[in-house]
Structure 1
Amino acid sequence: MSNKILAALIPIMLAVIIWFIPVPEGLAPKAWHMFAIFAATIVAILTQPLPSGAVMLIALCVSIFTGTLTDKQALSGFASGTVWLIFCAYILSLGFVTSGLGKRIAYKMLSLFGGSSLGIAYSLGVSDLIMAPAMPSVTARSGGIIFPIAKSINDVLDSYPGESGKKIGDFLIMVCYQFTPITGAMFLTGMAANPLVGDLAKKNFGLDITWTGWFIAAVVPMLICFVIMPLLAYKILNPSLKRTPEAKVMGKRSYAELGPMSVAEKKVFGGFFLALAGWGTSLITGFSATSVGLALAAYLFATNAVSWKDLLKDHAAWDTVIWFGAIIALAGGLSELGFIKWMTAILGNAMQGVGAIETFVVLGLLYIYLHYLFATATGHVAALYAPFVATAIAVGAPPMMAAICFGIFSNLMWSTTEYGGGPGPIYFAQGYFDRLRFYKINFVLVSVNVLIVFTIGLAWWKLLGLY
């Protein structure tokens, strides 16, 4: 039996088994059937018999033709502002890449702070941080811009996989990989699944997570993670090359070769600044993050900073529209049909007798480390975010705090493995780490980030009045 056939049979068999299991007490048949379709869809995303977008369209058709969802319900996700917010952010990220502005930022940081191995790490981390609000695709941001520069630095310093990797290569590959979930967690537009978190929080709990609200809640614990993670990685990996004047020279040379900022770069930078201003003042202006995103896209097209033809070639952007529209509709179906409420009651009963904050911590740890079973952050969020947050709220955790915290965890979790997020295969494939060593170091770094969230984060949220 070929791998493709097996990959298709596994989710189909799962759907059939769940579908025909007697419906649990307290749950409507349609809700149970919706769960069967949803569970099979998530498994199909993992086994990949077809590209994810195709899997999603098939799932929507199954939900319609089995009478589980109406046409309107199945297509409701494509009317979600979340889908179009993330699509607009992809348009801006395309501008960063095609104009060269992303590389300019990274080379500038390297020319300023690249004189030591830690300086290189932080310079690339700051570059990632600057681009994070505008580039929700962590694969494009980290894999497409940061990684090639890190690889070039390793080449210049003769630090390749194997023994020479101990000079700086091991360290640089690891920190660049671990920076992206930290920077992504800081912004509602920092990772593709973050707007999905906002959408699920709104539909399931009536919580309106604004761009500003997310940033204020996340900025303190994430900045501390941003500072501590490279220091810890430095301690663990102990790169033998401490001073790196060659990298600083490389940064200056590469930056000089770019010449003055082009007109296209200035236009993209202008759009980036206006978008940040719009998202940051949304509480004052009353414009939603999606409205600001649409205005940003209109500006980029009107000024020709981004070409529509280039956008048509950006498969990831269009795939996102299909993927997100479908997953939002399926997740919405679970909620509307009562499955999330039923599952929350089950989880809540299992956590009886445990304090609200203790339950919150236990659920948070489960949510993060269950990601070893997932190959995509979006699939994980779609499957587990709503029931886990609902359970935390049901046992007494403050709603907004729980909603944003699990949103932060939706970023931190994907760097535990090489398959948990888009940039992982790119970094791991370089050969600097065997799988066991890669997992061990990732586990330590992620766990320290989680500890910071549960200590500094909780203290910060107390100060903000979130609980």
Structure 2
Amino acid sequence: MRTTWKFLLPLAVTGLLALLPAPEGLPAHAWLYFALFAGVVVGLILEPLPGAVIGLIGVALAALLAPWVLFSPAQLATPGFRAPQEALKWGLAGFSNNTVWLIFSAFMFALGYEKTGLGRRIALLLVKAMGRRTLTLGYAVMLADLALAPFTPSNTARSGGTVYPVIRNLPLLYDSKPNDASARRIGSYLMWVAISSTCVTSTLFLTALAPNLLAAALIEKTAQVHISWGQWFIAAAPMGILLLALLPLLAYWLYPPEIKRNDQVPLWAAKELAALGPLTRDEKLLLALVIGALALWIFGAAWADPALVGILVIVLMLLLKVITWNDALGNKAAWNTFAWFATLVALADGLTRVGFVAWFGQWVAGHLGGFHAGTAMVVLVTVFYLAHYLFASSTAHTTALLPVMLAAGMGIPGIDLPVFALLLGTSLGLMGIITPYGTGPSPVYYGSGYLPSADYWRLGTIFGALFLLVLLGIGVPWIMMVA
């Protein structure tokens, strides 16, 4: 009974909107499609069922009701037009989307990190080298996340599944215990550095956060702006590198640890590394493969599509037995995300197909007509960023708001659409810091016992405001120069 409302509310939202008359200038079928889309978004937020299931339900319903929600009367009256076949083609289009396959490939890379132990080894090497002082230990935590970020699109797997299991061992070496007054000795500092760092690395690389890749696909579908791996990195680099360089120090000032030095941490890391032994064959092979993939993503786009590069690396990982096919089949996160994002790409594309995006852009343009294009862009990016308080999923946020924000920008005369698209995309990782539920690993750190609720909200507000200022103050002029 306590969860029944989560099933009923998406249906109620869809039904209520469908009963309302279509706004002026919007075709009736486009309004009905938006009603269905809104119900899917509410379902993604509440999650009465897994996100992939909700996406499949949305696509299936839209395809089934295609004569009323997907196609206009003029399309239906076109000789030879076959609505069922066209609806099915639309519904399955997301599964052939290049970006969806790139997301899937990156999840398989993360599986390789986990199975070979390379991710844990990288984290331990940094702790051994930099763990003597608390401040440098903070930088080691940040660098561990940074080293894994380009190949791990799940920041939950990267930070919550790889970095956190390593650093949770460290506070106890300082007698810093969770849910205790001793938490502030060092544990609180390390946990905050870890979660804030992963939010920045999630922005720095296109492949460091799954919703980044979804955003790139939606941007291309909605605004016809293609964003490559290299373009994303160049756009995000100045603000991302600056924030990563400052984060451990800012946390050291704003949330200071009581202990500044401990010689035991490097010794513990050295023992753990000794237990691991030298680099294994599989670790060496994986390292070579991911470096090769990164090089091709940056420099080889003219010769090979990034998704194809990812698929080729998966093939090589399987042939070289770095992972097995059973490992791949057992990677539920990869298959779940593949199905989820494929349906979301199709559903968001439907907004453009039925004309809702174009209508919404014109509607917003009419209300922001008195604003300078640059001012309107900053306002829209700020609204998009702060709206994350309403979402517990970056994927749901991206699906719900990115297409309509793009439509709003497209309707404003003079706005630089590639710049606007990059600003929206590179904000997705940063906004995860503002709440204890803002991004995948947030609940892991929030539940660690080292970050009390009041501290988390206070620091989230401070760092969230800082991230937004950097995005607008550095990101806007820089991206305008390079986009």
Q: Secondary structure at the match of 1:185?
A: helix
Equivalences for residues 216-231 of structure 1 within 5 A: 216-231=234-249
Q: Cα distance, 1:253 vs. partner?
A: 2.0
Change in CA separation of 1:386 and 1:282 when aligned onto 2, cut-off 3 Å = farther
Equivalences for residues 113-124 of structure 1 within 5 A: 113-124=130-141
Residue segments in structure 1 that go unaligned for 5+ positions in a row: none
Q: Provide the C-alpha distance between the structure 1 equivalents of 2:266 and 2:363, rounded to a whole number of angstroms.
A: 56
- Which structure's CA Rg is the greater one? 2
Question: Could you tell me whether the CA contact under 8 Å between 1:167 and 1:241 is conserved in 2?
Answer: yes
| 2:266 pairs with one of 237, 244, 248 | 248
2:59 alignment partner in structure 1:
60
Q: Secondary structure at the match of 2:159?
A: helix
Deviation string, structure 1 residues 139-180 (Cα, Å, up to 9, x no partner)? 100000111111111122221233111111111111101111
Q: Cα distance, 1:23 vs. partner?
A: 0.9
The residue identity in structure 1 corresponding to 2:12 is: M
CA RMSD between the two structures: 1.4
Deviation string, structure 1 residues 376-415 (Cα, Å, up to 9, x no partner)? 1011111111221332344333222211111111111122
1:209 partnered with 2:220: no
1:327 partnered with 2:326: no
1:37 alignment partner in structure 2:
36
Report runs of 4+ in structure 1 exceeding 4 Å deviation. none
Q: Provide the C-alpha distance between the structure 2 equivalents of 1:392 and 1:245, rounded to a whole number of angstroms.
A: 54
Q: Cα distance, 1:215 vs. partner?
A: 0.9
Which shows bigger deviation, 412-421 or 81-90?
Answer: 412-421
2:106 alignment partner in structure 1:
89
Q: Provide the C-alpha distance between the structure 2 equivalents of 1:435 and 1:11, rounded to a whole number of angstroms.
A: 30
Q: Secondary structure at the match of 1:154?
A: helix
Q: Cα distance, 1:286 vs. partner?
A: 3.0
The residue identity in structure 1 corresponding to 2:246 is: I
Q: Provide the C-alpha distance between the structure 2 equivalents of 1:180 and 1:158, rounded to a whole number of angstroms.
A: 26
Residue segments in structure 2 that go unaligned for 5+ positions in a row: 71-86
The residue identity in structure 2 corresponding to 1:439 is: W
Q: Provide the C-alpha distance between the structure 2 equivalents of 1:47 and 1:90, rounded to a whole number of angstroms.
A: 25
Q: Provide the C-alpha distance between the structure 2 equivalents of 1:393 and 1:316, rounded to a whole number of angstroms.
A: 34
Q: Cα distance, 1:49 vs. partner?
A: 1.3
2:464 alignment partner in structure 1:
446
Q: Cα distance, 1:127 vs. partner?
A: 1.2
Question: Could you tell me whether the CA contact under 8 Å between 2:189 and 2:251 is conserved in 1?
Answer: yes
The residue identity in structure 2 corresponding to 1:176 is: A
2:195 alignment partner in structure 1:
177
Q: Cα distance, 1:97 vs. partner?
A: 0.5
Q: Secondary structure at the match of 1:133?
A: helix
Equivalences for residues 73-222 of structure 1 within 5 A: 73-161=90-178, 162-222=180-240
Which shows bigger deviation, 3-12 or 414-423?
Answer: 414-423
Question: Could you tell me whether the CA contact under 8 Å between 2:223 and 2:406 is conserved in 1?
Answer: no
Q: Cα distance, 1:191 vs. partner?
A: 0.4
Question: Could you tell me whether the CA contact under 8 Å between 1:393 and 1:402 is conserved in 2?
Answer: no
Q: Provide the C-alpha distance between the structure 2 equivalents of 1:213 and 1:46, rounded to a whole number of angstroms.
A: 30
For this pair of structures, how many residues does the alignment match? Answer: 463
Which shows bigger deviation, 346-355 or 306-315?
Answer: 346-355
Q: Cα distance, 1:459 vs. partner?
A: 3.5
2:83 alignment partner in structure 1:
none
1:409 alignment partner in structure 2:
427
| 1:380 pairs with one of 397, 401, 421 | 397
Identical pairs, percent: 32
The residue identity in structure 1 corresponding to 2:2 is: N
Q: Provide the C-alpha distance between the structure 2 equivalents of 1:346 and 1:251, rounded to a whole number of angstroms.
A: 58
- Could you tell me the TM-score, scaled by structure 2's length? 0.93
Q: Secondary structure at the match of 2:121?
A: helix
Which shows bigger deviation, 409-418 or 96-105?
Answer: 409-418
Q: Cα distance, 1:355 vs. partner?
A: 1.6
